Chains A and B, each alone.
Chain A
Amino acid sequence: MSRTNIWVACLLAGTALGIAGCKKHDQNASAIDNDKQAALLAQLIDAKPGDVISIPAGTYHFDTSLSLNVDGVTVRGAGKDATIIDFTGQVNGAEGMLVHASDFTIEGLTLQNTKGDALKINEGQNVIIRGVRARWTGGPSTKNGAYGLYPVQIKNLLVEDSESIGASDAGIYVGQSSNIVVRNNRVRQNVAGIEIENSTNADVHDNEATENTGGILVFNMPNLPVPGRATRVFHNHSYANNTANFGARGTAVASVPAGTGVIVNSNPQVEIFDNDIADNQTANLIISSYFSTGYMNKTGVAAAYDPYPSAIYVYGNRFSGGGNAPDGVKLQALRVTVFGLSGHIPDILWDGFVDQAKLVNGKLDPTRAICVDNGDAGVVNADGPNGFKNPSTDKSPYACTLPKLPPVQLTGKLAEASGKS
């Protein structure tokens, strides 16, 4: 395994290109660190499997996306408070860092103020994101990049001890992946804190989500190669996610009401247990269908797509507060009509869309049921199909249990990493 750092590579790259080596830069914070950027790019381009590319402590101003296409590489900063790459002046490339590689580990650095996604890992297996922070320093804004940490089409994925702050879509967004653990992360001031989308076998646990529009999302979107299923959301702390939705219209997350602790949309087999979910002003937990997003249509949504949530199992969570100031006129009206002027939406809000074609004797097939075994937590069926006309707080339809999902077993190096923590 070779270990190099960008200072050394800086001189080498400078020589190879026939330009001056690492010259000193002025103290102007916005000046682009061209030599260091070129040196790091060169290291990434010429990386060999087994390489550890170290980025020393410091704040670097880059104007170009970084990218890596080589398997088996580790990119390591000196810690997310020490190694900071700032893309405020970015003119080239859509991401802060774009990776297409397997057996990839990135750890100990901050990527901030990227124009698009901070870190995108597009296809691969055995990926570890550890101690990485994605951040937009100007607070929530629709102009911020879409995703903080964005692994997509990854098999065997660990995201831990990381942060995202200010993403205009999702902070940690796992898309179209399988065998996933997302744990011990901290997400705030994103539209969606953590989003698991079209993914299979995910464990999302011990994360802290606050000040987002929605804390933790489990979604299925249409027209993608694979639908997702089987996500366990447990032992997280999702509280006071009450930031006004600043997602661009048309994004899936733009449909999330501000004040949502956890939300499931159109996804099968989701188990939500042992979480502390509190003070989310629309509802601590929302279970919804694609119809509630407003994007459903016949031309552009694949016929094979299942827009309903199914096999949702909620138990043993500690809910408190919330539901007192739901987002939007319709939900406010629902709150006042059903629960009174000073009332609040119960902890669990279901939009009430049911696939009539799949009813058995007028009831949901047990394999598609929504089951709630959560003490005195209330449930409201908002009667979305009829424009919220006849909401119901009867909990008896959810008195059922579902088989529990097995824990995700990470494999290889990721399993070793699991043993450590």
Chain B
Amino acid sequence: MRPARPPTPHFVAEGYPASLSDWGMVAAARGRLMLGERVVPYDLATPLFSDYAGKLRAIYVPKGAAAAYDAEKTFAFPVGTVISKTFYYPVPEGGDRIGGRVLPAVGNDTQSGADGLDLTRVRLIETRILARRAGGWVALPYVWNDRQTDATLMRTGTLVPLTLQQASGGSEDVAYVVPNVNQCASCHTQDHASRQIAPIGPKARHLNTSFPYADGAENQLAHWQRIGLLSGAPAPGTAPRNADYRDSSMPLGDRARAYLDINCGHCHNAAGLARTTGLYLNASVTAPARLGYCKPPVAAGPGTGDHLFDIVPGKPDESILAFRMAATRPGIRMPEVGRSIAHQEGVALIRQWIASLQGSCSS
């Protein structure tokens, strides 16, 4: 069969295109989800948990333009940049792609995305577009149709009921939430007062890891710099780098902080939506009380789970942080949006980390 031609990316400078195909970032054709021309797939050292969905992230920067490197913040992307993030689940071999069970995208179930996705093996749920326009970034969620041919703009979000088959063999019902655009902003507005939204992932510390490109593995910062997508990046060895939370060869504290940074730090920072709590979990924070050590909650309500402090060193069972990560009820679970089930591996990591901490909250 003749391979399909990749779509041509099309930056839409205003308005809200009704179909994902209007952007040309990805296209479903002949059994593959393909990336557009000059669209570069990428991954994060430690990603946000989203109900075990797999994510194909991809970025397009107009020819001749480049993002400006920043060691701490999201890179400064030129107008015309488009980022797409496609959420999908693997499906069991021979299973119904729509309506049947889906599998958690973990470990080697996750397709690398270097060459798009094999659509016979996945169900596409939604693709989120972040576009850098003259007035700032816009976030638009597109929901894939049952035929898996295109996705339609749903600015008010929607729920997609799924049955997730667990590794243990059981299954779990998931009310997968496609966020509405205001919910997009709740995470992507990292400086709450400014109301400006921005991508979260494309920062040096998240990207500073290897990606299996079609023509071989390479560090993403080095790759982006080499192909002209990024300017001003130092050698990867001197750039900040978050740990891969799954990599047990890395120090436990680094893995835990990387996990909290990407899952919590976009709201829990000094300028974010959750600045009102005084609990800051972004990567640069070092003060113990700011990180929640023995810190009384401020406005948790039943979210305390009857515990007194965010983190009680050595005692995960007494720590609000671990309780809320394991909770699924709206109003109690953390993060507030973006998941409806618990991330067992993430909870286990944070519990292990809290158990390893020394100290006491009793004086």
Contacts and interface: CB of A to CB of B under 8 A. Distances in A.
Interface of A: 13, 17-18, 37-38, 41-42, 44-45, 63-65, 67-69, 90-95, 98, 100, 114-117, 122-123, 142-147, 150, 152-153, 168-169, 173, 175-176, 221-225, 247-252, 293-295, 297-302
A118 B359 CA distance: 37
A251 B337 contact: no
A301 B296 contact: yes
Contacts of B273: 100, 122
B186 A250 contact: no
Contact of B301 (A17, A91, A169): A169
A295 B300 contact: no
B298 A67 contact: no
B168 interface: no
B286 interface: no
A146 B320 CA distance: 15
A145 B301 contact: yes
Contacts of A293: 296
A221 B278 CA distance: 10
24 contacts: A18-B152, A41-B157, A65-B183, A69-B182, A91-B177, A94-B330, A94-B331, A100-B195, A115-B329, A122-B273, A123-B192, A144-B302, A152-B276, A153-B276, A169-B301, A169-B302, A173-B299, A175-B276, A221-B296, A248-B302, A250-B297, A251-B300, A300-B309, A301-B289
Given A42-B155, A168-B301, A221-B298, A250 B307 contact: yes
A373 to B, nearest CB: 34
A221 B359 CA distance: 23
Given A94-B336, A302-B289, A223 B308 contact: no
B285 interface: no
Q: How large is the interface on B (under 10, 10 to 19, 20 to 34, 35 or more residues)?
A: 35 or more
A65 B177 CA distance: 12
B156 A38 contact: yes
A331 to B, nearest CB: 21
B183 A93 contact: yes
Contacts of B275: 225
B289 A300 contact: yes
Interface in B278-313: 278, 288-290, 292-310
Interface in B16-34: 18
A116 B329 CA distance: 9
A65 B330 CA distance: 10
**B155, B276, B359: which has the most chain A beta carbons within 10 Å?**
B276
Contacts of B155: 42, 45
Q: Which 3 A-B pairs give the minimum distances between C-beta atoms?
A: A146-B301, A116-B331, A300-B294
Given A93-B330, A153-B276, A299-B361, A222 B296 contact: yes
B258 to A, nearest CB: 23
Contact of B330 (A92, A250, A295): A92
B172 to A, nearest CB: 14
Interface of B: 18, 152-157, 159, 175, 177, 180-183, 185-186, 192-193, 195, 273, 275-276, 278, 288-290, 292-310, 320, 329-332, 336-337, 340, 359-363
Contact of A223 (B153, B295, B330, B363): B295
Contacts of B175: 91-92
Contact of B296 (A114, A168, A250): A250
Given A69-B182, A176-B276, A297 B363 contact: yes
Nearest to A144: B302
B289 A116 contact: no
Contacts of B276: 122, 152-153, 175-176, 224
Given A115-B329, A175-B299, A224 B278 contact: yes
B192 A90 contact: no
Contacts of B361: 297, 299-300
A168 to B, nearest CB: 5
B342 to A, nearest CB: 15
B183 A295 contact: no
B314 to A, nearest CB: 12
A338 B192 CA distance: 53
A249 B306 CA distance: 4
**A37, A93, A144, A302: which has the most chain B beta carbons within 10 Å?**
A93
Contacts of B360: 299
B153 to A, nearest CB: 8
A301 B330 CA distance: 28
A90 B336 CA distance: 13
Given A64-B180, A248-B304, A249-B307, A69 B195 contact: yes
Contact of B289 (A45, A173, A247, A299): A299
A91 B178 CA distance: 12
B297 A169 contact: no
A114 B278 CA distance: 24
B299 A299 contact: no
B331 A13 contact: no
Given A248-B304, A251-B297, A300-B310, 14 more contacts: A42-B155, A45-B181, A64-B157, A67-B183, A92-B175, A116-B330, A142-B302, A145-B331, A153-B276, A175-B299, A250-B296, A250-B304, A295-B308, A300-B295
Nearest to A18: B152
